[in-house]
Structure 1
């Protein structure tokens, strides 16, 4: 039996991306984010999510895209990143789909607009075309993760 991977589909700059649903705890509407002085530009701040301080990362900014003003469709993907709850701002969360392993290829090193280290693979899907699969565990390097940890603990 083929092991399908449940994948959440989200948009950044009108491009669809996917992430393994096992990393995602919830999908939230954008709420008031408390900004933090002297933090990286992609760390937007923190929110209080059900009693837990959660650092918020702007995934657009992190991936080198220009920042956008949140819209009604903007969502925060609450994810587990190396045992820390982190929120990722995305333009829109659109779907959850199953992807068969034979539809996924390794990411080429020259993927336009996104650092290939963040990409787990590329899914070729009939209905959607090509879908970049992000590895949320690698979107932050260890130094940046330390910065996020400091935010989450303080």
Structure 2
């Protein structure tokens, strides 16, 4: 009788946002840094907390709580910036996410990951890769390429006046 091969476990970095625990695939994580003051950028969406210099590269830092529709993060003693590689093939770039605390790396097999419930969830469905249950409750697994979609975030940062002007020109022409 042939043996069925169990799915290989994947590793996820778990972190805190408010009272909830989230996780992302560890393969996207490049670094975890202590929080330090960032440079703000005018006319950016509220969830863009600022930019930082990472060894000569300007890296945008996203307040993950705000990006997920929650109130802005309060900077605490354990606040961290997790540097991720996000975007589509050929357009990958480093993006930092501001989180309240980093917990641990967890290993999960496909059997450990459940579909996210269709109700009672305040996140966009395309942001969620699944959920898993641990000792202290559920962990929401985030689809970071969707959460940190460069194209979507860029469209949200276009100043409203520019959009209105462009629409007016189309109507006049």
**Cα distance in 2 between the residues matched to 1:25 and 1:147:** 25
Contact 1:9 1:16 in 2 (8 A): yes
Displacement over 3 Å in runs of 4+:
145-148
**Cα distance in 1 between the residues matched to 2:120 and 2:59:** 30
How far 1:132 moved relative to its partner?
0.5
Cα offsets for 1:22-70 (capped at 9, x unmatched): 0110111111210010011101110001221100100001111111321
How far 1:109 moved relative to its partner?
2.8
Contact 2:113 2:130 in 1 (8 A): yes
Partner of 2:142: 134
Partner of 2:108: 99
Q: Give the paired residue count.
A: 147
Partner of 1:84: 93
**CA-atom RMSD in angstroms:** 1.7
**Cα distance in 2 between the residues matched to 1:11 and 1:39:** 25
Between Structure 1 and Structure 2, whose CA radius of gyration is higher?
2
Please say if 1:6 is aligned against 2:15: no
SS in 2 for 1:105: coil
Change (3 A) 1:115 1:29: same
User: Which has the larger share of strand?
Assistant: 1
Contact 1:55 1:87 in 2 (8 A): yes
Q: Which runs of 5+ in 1 are unaligned?
A: 149-154
Match of 1:69 among 74, 87, 104: 74
SS in 1 for 2:126: helix
Change (3 A) 1:124 1:2: same
TM-score, length-normalised on structure 1? 0.88
Q: Which runs of 5+ in 2 are unaligned?
A: 1-5, 158-173
Partner of 1:152: none
**Cα distance in 1 between the residues matched to 2:38 and 2:113:** 35
